[in-house]
Amino acid sequence: MTRPAAPPRLARWLLTVTLPAHLAEDVAANLDDLHANRVFQRGSTRAGLWYWRQALWFPLRLAMAGRPAAPDPCQRRTSLMRSILLDLSHAVRLHRSRPGFTLVAVLSLAVAIGFTTAIFSVVDGVLLRPTPLADFDRLMMVWETDRNTGTTREPASVPDFIDYRATARSFASLGALIAGEANLVPPGRDPVRLAVLSVTHELLPMVGVTPIGGRAFTEEDARLGRPVVLISESLWTRMFNRAPGAIGLNLLLNEVPYQVVGVVPDATDFGVLQVLSAAAYARAFADRTRRVRVDAWLPLQPDPEGLPRSTHPAFMIGKLANDVSVLQAQEEMTRLAAGLEETYPDDNTARGIHVEALSEIVFGKVRPAFLALVGAVALVLLVACVNVANLLLAQSEARRGEVAIRAALGADRLRLARQFFAETLSLTLVAAALGVGLAYGVLAWLVASAPAEVPRLTTAAIDVRVLSVTVAIAVGAGLVFGLVPTLQAGRAALRIGLAAGVARTAARARRRSRAALVVAELALAVMLVAGAGLLVRSFWLLQQINPGFEPSGVVKAEYQLPSSRYPVDFSVWPDFKEQHAFTRTLVERARRLPGVRSAAVAGNHPLDPGFTNSFLVVGREAEASTWPEISVRRVTSGYFETVGLRLVRGRVIDDRDTTDGAPVAVINEAAAERFFGDGEPLGHEIRFWGTSRRIVGIVANERFQGLTTPAPIAVYTPLAQTPGTNGAGVLLVKADGDLEPLGAALPRLIREIDPMLAAFGVEPLGDTKAQATADRRFTMTLVGLFAAMALALAGLGVHGVLSYGVAQRRREIGIRMALGAQPDRVRWQVVGEGLALSGAGLAIGVAGTLALSGWLRSLLYGVTPIDPLTLSAVGGLLVVVAAVASYVPARAATRVDPVVALRVEA
C-alpha cells in the first residue's frame, strides 16, 4: 500500500493557526486520519475538499459552541475568534471608561459621515447620475434672440418653429413645448389647478418621456386637432385610483373635454421648470414658488390667429444630428434666422437664434451651489477625521505605559495592533451606523427643503457606494492615525526604562505632530467659516435690497378665467365684458372683506417677470427700432397703494381709467430716465398694441425679475384697457393684522363669484419674496451649519492638545509654581500656545480661502470673495474660540499642586 495522500497543506496550516493551541495538535492529527480514510474511500479530490471544509468550519463551529474547555494554564495562544471577542469587549470597556472622548469621537464622525453621504447622494442624483436619456448631452435648447433688447433666451413663435423644423438639417429632431395652466374640475370636488404642457409629437420621445399606459402623441393628433390628453401618473392615481380604464375617459380641462390617451410616469423630469425659468419671459407655472409637477400634456396645435409670428410662447428643444457640433448647428440656425428676418421684417427684425446645451440650462444654475456644498461637506469630513485622529493620537500617548507593560509581558506587535484595531473599529462602526441613520434623515430634509430650482431631486437616494466610501475614509483615517503611533510606541516601549530621555524626545515629536493636526483643523475651519460668512453677508445684503414694493400685509391669490365663459374676441378687444365684470366684482368684494385696507387685480404679481413688448413714443418713431422691449404690467386701481409702490410724479391708475376712458399709461423711473433723460415724460404718448396711451404718471422702480436684477424699464396700463388674452389674473389684498384668515377667504371669494374657478398661488407676498432667495438661504444654512461643526471640532482639538501638553508638563509647572511663578503667567503661557496655534491655522486658512475664492464667486451678492470685513470677523471668531478652548487647560495648569506634581513620575 502506498503512503496515503497528505491533506492540503494550506488548509492544515489554517487549521493549526485558527484553533486554540491545546486543541490544534489533536484535531489536526485526527483529521489527518479521517482524511486518509476518505482518500481510500472516495478519492483524493473529494477528500481534499472535505478537508478544506473541515479546516474552515472547525474553528467556527467550536467558537459558536461556546466557551472552550478549561485551557491548559500555560497556553500562550487563544483562538482568533475568542481573541477578537476579547479585543472587542476590552474596547467596549475602554470606551465606557472615557465617555467624553467616545462621545466626541463618535458624534463628530457620525455627523460628518451622515452629512457627507446625504450631500453626495443628492449631488449624485441631481448632477452625476446619468439622466434617463443616454444622449442627454445631444439635446439642445434652441432659443430666439433679440438684438434690440440683448436677450439671448427667448421662446420662439409657433410659425418660426414650424419653419425651423421644416428646414433645419443640424437636428435629427426638433420639438417645441408651450407651458400653461388649466383648471380641472373633478366631479364633486373643488376645482384644481394643473400645470399643462402643450408639446409637439417629437418632444416627448426626445426628452425620454414614455407613457406607462396608453400611447404617446402622434403627428396626426396635432394635424387633425384631436382633443386628446396625456396625464401624469400622480393625476391618474388621484383621479382614477390607477384604474387602467381611465384611458379613453374624458377629462374637463378649462371646461373643455379631452380624451385621456396615455399615462406618463412621475419619475421622468427632463428639467422643464429650469427650462421655463431660464427664459427671459413667458414662464407660466415656473413662476409659482413651490415645486410644480406637470400633470397634463396636450398636443401643440398651430394656430395662426391665436399664436401668430409676433407671439413667442414656444420653447424649442432639438436633438443634434449625428456628427453635427453645437457650433455647426448654431451656424445653420443663424443662417435660417437671417432668412426669416428677410421674409418677415414686421415680426422677425433683429431676431436670431442661440443654441445652448439643455444640460447647461437644467444644471447650470445649481451646479456652483452644489459644488460649494460638496466642498464644504468634504472639509467637514476632513476636520472630523483629523479630530478623531488627534484624539486617538492623544489616547495612544496616554496609554504608552500600558502598551509598554503589555509588550514587556510578551504581547507581540500583531497582538497589540489587533487590540487597537478593535478599538478604532468599534468606534468607527458605531459612528458609521449612527451616520447612516443620520444620512437618511438629512436626505429627507434636503429633499423637502431644497428650493424648487433644484432639478431631478426626486431621483436622489442614499447611494451605497457613497456611503461605503465615506465610512472607509473615516475608518481609514482612524486606523492610520491610531495605529501607526501605537506601533511605534510598542517598539519604543522596551527602551523606556533604559532611556527616559529618548522617550521624552519622542513625546515632543508626537506633540508636534498633534499640534500640526490641530493647525490643519483650524485652517479647514477658517475656510469653512469664511465661506459661510461670505454667504451670510450676501444674504444679509440681499435682504437689504429695496424691491420697490412693500410685501408686508399683502396676500395674493391667482386664477385663470377660461375662454369658454370669458370669451377672447380680438375684434372687440379691449372690451372683454365678461372678464372686466369679473375683475370689477372681485376687487369690490375683496375691499369689503374685514380688515382689508386696499385690493387690486393685476396681470402679474410683484416678482413675476411677466412679458415685454416693443413700443414707440409718438413723435419719435425713428428711434424706436433700436429700443429694447418694455415690460408691460396691467393693473387695476389700487395696485400701487396695495403693493406700496411710490408715486414720483403725476397720478396713478385709478377708477377713471375704464375701458371707454382715454387710454393712459404710467411708466417707472427707469423708463423715464432711459427714454426721456432730463425731459418731462408726462403728457407724451407711448404706443403699443395699436393704441397711443398718454403718460399720466411716473412711479418708483419695482423689481420683478428677481431681487438681484435691477428694475427693468416698465409701463403700467389699466387692466380695463388692456385685458389679458389668456385670462390669467392675480388678486392682491393688503390687510391689517393677521393674514391667516385671508388665505382661506380669498379662494372662497373667487369661488363665490365663479364656482368653477380654481384659486392657486395663495400666499403672503412676503413668502413670495422669501422664495426668491430660497436657494441662497438653503446654501447659506448648510454651509453655516458645516462651518459651525468644523469650528466646534477645531475648538475641541485645541483644547485636547493643550490639555495634554499641560498634563505632560505637570512636573515642570509644579516646580515653577513651587519656585513662586505667578499663576497668571502660567495661565497666559498656555493660552498663548493656543493663540499661536490659532494664528498658524488662521494664516493657512486665509491663504486657502483666497485660493478657493473663485468657487464661491457665483454664489455671492454684493461682496467679493476677499471681503476684508468678513475675513477679519472670521479671524476674530477663531481667536475667541481658541482662547476659550485654551482657557480650560490653562486653569487646570495653575491648579497643579507642586507637592503632588513633584511626586508623580513625569
Partner 1 sequence: MPREALGEFEHQVLLAILQLGGRAYSAPIVTELEARSGRAVAPAAVYIALRRLEQRGLVRSVKAEPGRLEGGRGRRTFSVTAEAVGKLRESRRAFEALWSGLDPLFAGGAASRRRKRP
Among 10, 13, 37, 505, binds partner 1 (CB under 8 A): 37
The one among 1, 2, 9, 69 contacting partner 1 by CB under 8 A:
69
Q: How far apart are CA 419 and CA 306, in angstroms?
A: 80
CB of 32 to partner 1, least distance (A): 8
Question: Minimum distance from CB of 28 to partner 1 (Å)?
Answer: 8
Contact of 524 with 789, CB cutoff 8 Å: no
Task: Mark residues 89-128: x for contact with partner 1 by CB under 8 A, - for none.
Answer: ----------------------------------------
Total interface residues for partner 1 by CB under 8 A? 19
In angstroms, give the least distance from the CB of 33 to partner 1.
4
Contacts of residue 505, defined as CB under 8 A and 6 or more positions apart, other chains included, come to none
Binding mask 604-623 for partner 1 (x = CB under 8 A): --------------------
Q: Which of 445, 513, 451, 378 is nearest to 789 (CA)?
A: 378
Please report whether residue 26 would count as binding partner 1 according to CB under 8 A: yes
CA–CA distances in Å: residue 557 to residues 193, 653, 724, 731, 750? 12, 21, 17, 5, 9
Query: Shortest Cβ distance from residue 73 to partner 1 (Å)?
Result: 14
- Nearest distance from residue 498's CB to partner 1, in Å? 40
Q: Does 23 bind partner 1 (CB under 8 A)?
A: yes
Enter the C-alpha cell of residue 833.
Answer: 500656545
- Distance, in Å, from the CA atom of 860 to the CA atom of 864, rounded to the nearest integer, reads 7
Does the footprint of partner 1 cover residue 13 (CB under 8 A)?
A: no
Q: At closest approach, how far in Å is the CB of 86 from partner 1? A: 20
List the one residue out of 180, 209, 214, 204 whose CA is nearest residue 194: 180
Window of 6-14, 65-73, 244-252, 386-394 that interacts with partner 1 by CB under 8 A: 65-73
Per CB under 8 A, does 71 bind partner 1? no
Residue pair 175/275 in contact by the 8 Å Cβ criterion: no
Q: In the set 39, 48, 58, 313, which binds partner 1 (CB under 8 A)?
A: 58
Q: Which of 29, 409, 448, 622 binds partner 1 (CB under 8 A)?
A: 29
The separation between CA 414 and the C-alpha centre of its own chain, rounded to angstroms, equals 46
Stretch that binds partner 1, among 32-40, 556-564, 594-602, 838-846 (CB under 8 A): 32-40
Q: Cβ distance 749 to 593 under 8 Å?
A: yes
Nearer to partner 1, 33 or 342 (CB): 33
Q: Cα–Cα distance between 298 and 221 in angstroms, integer?
A: 9
Nearest distance in Å: CB 64, partner 1 = 9
In terms of CB distance, is 25 or 588 closer to partner 1?
25
Other Cβ atoms less than 10 A from the Cβ of 744: the count is 10
Q: Considering only CA atoms, which of 618, 412, 532 is closest in space to residue 860?
A: 532
Q: Which part of the chain contacts partner 1 (CB under 8 A), choosing from 24-32, 273-281, 628-636, 848-856?
A: 24-32
By CB under 8 A, name the one of 3, 9, 65, 187 that touches partner 1.
65
Contacts of residue 568, Cβ cutoff 8 Å, sequence gap at least 6: 576, 725, 727
Using the rule CB under 8 A, is 61 a contact of partner 1? yes
Q: Which stretch binds partner 1 (CB under 8 A): 62-70, 256-264, 569-577, 635-643?
A: 62-70
Nearest 5 degrees, angle CA 787-CA 793-CA 794?
85
Minimum distance from residue 59 beta carbon to partner 1 (Å) = 9
CB of 66 vs partner 1, minimal distance in Å? 9
Stretch that binds partner 1, among 61-69, 202-210, 438-446, 493-501 (CB under 8 A): 61-69
Which amino acid, one-letter code, is at 353?
A: I
Residue with cell 448654431: 330
79: contact with partner 1 by CB under 8 A? no
Q: Are 483 and 417 in contact (CB under 8 A)?
A: yes
Please choose, out of 30-38, 369-377, 525-533, 649-657, the segment that lies near partner 1 by the rule CB under 8 A.
30-38
CB of 34 to partner 1, least distance (A): 5
Nearest CB to partner 1, comparing residues 25 and 680: 25
Identify which of residues 19 and 431 has a Cβ nearer to partner 1 in the complex: 19
27 in contact with partner 1 (CB under 8 A): yes
> Does the footprint of partner 1 cover residue 31 (CB under 8 A)?
yes
Question: Which of 64, 134 has the CB closer to partner 1?
Answer: 64
- Between the CA of residue 720 and those of 658, 692, 700, 724, what are the distances in Å? 6, 15, 22, 10
* Cβ at position 8, least distance to partner 1 in Å: 15
Least gap, CB of 4 to partner 1 (angstroms):
12
Shortest Cβ 51–partner 1 spacing (Å):
10
* Least distance from partner 1 to the Cβ atom of residue 513, Å: 48
If one asks whether residue 33 binds partner 1 (CB under 8 A), the answer comes out as yes
As measured in angstroms, the least distance from the Cβ of 57 to partner 1 is 6
Taking contact as CB under 8 A, which single stretch among the options 27-35, 388-396, 617-625, 665-673 is the one that binds partner 1? 27-35
Q: Does 1 bind partner 1 (CB under 8 A)?
A: no
Residue 894 CA: distances (Å) to CA of 187, 388, 840, 856, 884: 81, 28, 26, 45, 16
Choosing from 13, 57, 445, 570, the residue that interacts with partner 1 (CB under 8 A) is: 57
3-state secondary structure at position 527? helix
Q: How many whole angstroms separate alpha carbon 617 and alpha carbon 665?
A: 12
**Span of 60-68, 213-221, 369-377, 460-468 interacting with partner 1 by CB under 8 A:** 60-68
User: Stretches 28-36, 192-200, 478-486, 660-668: which one binds partner 1 (CB under 8 A)?
Assistant: 28-36
The yes or no reply on residue 149 touching partner 1 (CB under 8 A) is no
Does residue 445 touch partner 1 according to CB under 8 A?
Answer: no
**Per-residue H/E/C for 669-696:** HHHHHHHHCCCCCCCCEEEECCEEEEEE
User: What's the min distance (Å) between Cβ of 44 and partner 1?
Assistant: 17
Those residues whose C-beta lies under 8 Å from the C-beta of residue 46, and which sit 6 or more positions away, are 38
Q: Give the Cα separation of 699 and 666 in Å (integer).
A: 7
Q: How far is the CB of 80 from partner 1 (least distance, A)?
A: 15
307 vs 314: CA distance, rounded Å? 10
Task: Please pick, from the candidates 21, 34, 398, 884, the single residue that binds partner 1 as defined by CB under 8 A.
Answer: 34
What DSSP string describes 167-220? H--SEEEEEEEEEEEEEE--TTS--EEEEEEEE-TTHHHHTT---SEE----HH
256 in helix, strand or coil? strand
CB-nearer residue toward partner 1: 25 or 752: 25
> Residues 762-785, buried b or exposed e (16+ Cβ, 10 A)?
bbbbebbbebbbbbbbbbbebbbb
Estimate the crossing angle of helix 740-753 against helix 577-591, to 10 degrees.
150
62 near partner 1 (CB under 8 A): yes
Q: Which of 68, 205, 227, 595 binds partner 1 (CB under 8 A)?
A: 68
* Alpha-carbon span 130 to 134, nearest angstrom: 7
Q: Answer yes or no: are the C-beta atoms of 391 and 95 closer than 8 Å.
A: no
* Residue from 2, 41, 322, 544 in contact with partner 1 (CB under 8 A): 41
* 3-state SS assignment for residue 535: helix
Q: Please identify, using beta-carbon distances, which residue of 24 and 645 lies nearer to partner 1.
A: 24
Residues of the shown chain interacting with partner 1 in the complex, contacts defined by CB under 8 A: 23, 25-27, 29-31, 33-34, 37, 41, 54, 57-58, 61-62, 65, 68-69
